Structure 1
């Protein structure tokens, strides 16, 4: 019997050959240009060769002043499209789909000489800079940046677009009452805190008609912050806007120590999936094929996002298949008779 982990999954007209997703993970391996380098071509293509169904790049930054860290890949200029398309083409060559996560670091930006921005002048911690409160004009400019990033992702032939609203970065800062204490229409109530995300999604959808994911931090792990119940409400709004899948991570808005353990974020994906009736992605210390299969068999999520383990082992999919007793297609060069086939 085929393990569910290795069954195809279709969103809109895009089919992933299995349910394994390489999670977006910062590599900080470009330079000030934000351009795709040889490292990225090797790094991401290796995971496609390793048979993951969907490969997400690290966050593609929508503004040169919104870097998560030095060397982030960029999507803030048309200059980036050529390199990104080359990367996507190589991912496609080895049978995987390509996902672009777009975002802005907000008050956590680490670009030297740049004063960070955010919804309110509240620093992340006593050791970080106090951000400048964004004006309404700043907000509209940022929404335009997301829209243009979506256009560039489409021109680069990505299959999936994900809006990054997690991990303490800009859109997450608007969603959380810990970092958003505005008194205008972008702060206060849950609906108002969601407003910028709503407007970003609306803008993105004018350029992007493919599968649309949103990554969330399903809890702030801090008193007075967002909880999984809060994100059930946010997910309802996302569903109404036509979001196809909610990618359920957690944390990042407050400097707190998180007690992490295998599958520790899966309950949030399960809660949102069942209460909102929207597809979800599970992420967080999912190490083995058996863990991933349990999540899918028990209808706790629809896709499984693999992070650290796929960094350690680009062929995690093959290891998981062996663990689950499932035969999957592998590159012919890596089979016993590959060399004979290549000579024929």
Structure 2
């Protein structure tokens, strides 16, 4: 079965929904394909997570986001984006993964896990949360090692190593410690990350200073076994008992998917995809990028707050091409 649309949007996160709203305003035939749940990345955030941004900066299309606290939590964000999608009757196909994009003449053929689509334009707003940056050490595939953190309860009364010094790693370390876990942080750099939320950073620094949470700076994991872990420190290798490893070392976009679609990436470590910042169109005519995926490996560059405008830029360019 083949279906035709003017615009196909890949990803039903906040920016994908914003793009869909712009299409709806113009009465364009469009569809949003999402391989998981609605706002799948947000859904997989830790249950107790609070955003750095205030609620008004997370709003899309000027639809008010009312939260209990100035900085909303995960559940409030899920409720907000769910209501935006349902009340505006956004055409979203959930649990339908895009398998491939083929550029044929002046249109695209998109193959999904369920069917095939013929579309004029494509907007990729798929984020970067699906592929973790691996440690590449022996034992990383053991069940005790995870690259995602949901909640602290499973780690109560356990010896837990948290890898990283970003917001996610700091939040996990503090929550696990408060739920009765024995936490050791392994940090590649010399200190807690600069981007850690300003109201959280003093907490983790004080817990480390008082010895409640052990931290090894300038250190890396060398090996993980069923019963222990070995880390390389400035003072030499150390091995100690360990039940779980929560490796929150970041994530990266699906670069293979972008390359297979014909999008050029920069040759440096950033692997920045090629696009026009005024229109968000890539080097492939009719194929656009929106949201955090625009930053390549610089995953801190784009977020909801400053990439909401991408939806309007893309819609305006498509409208201009149609004129």
TM (norm. structure 2) is 0.31
Between structures 1 and 2, the one with greater helix share: 1
Choose 1 or 2 for highest CA Rg: 2
TM (norm. structure 1) is 0.30
Higher RCO (C-alpha under 8 Å, 6+ residues apart): 2
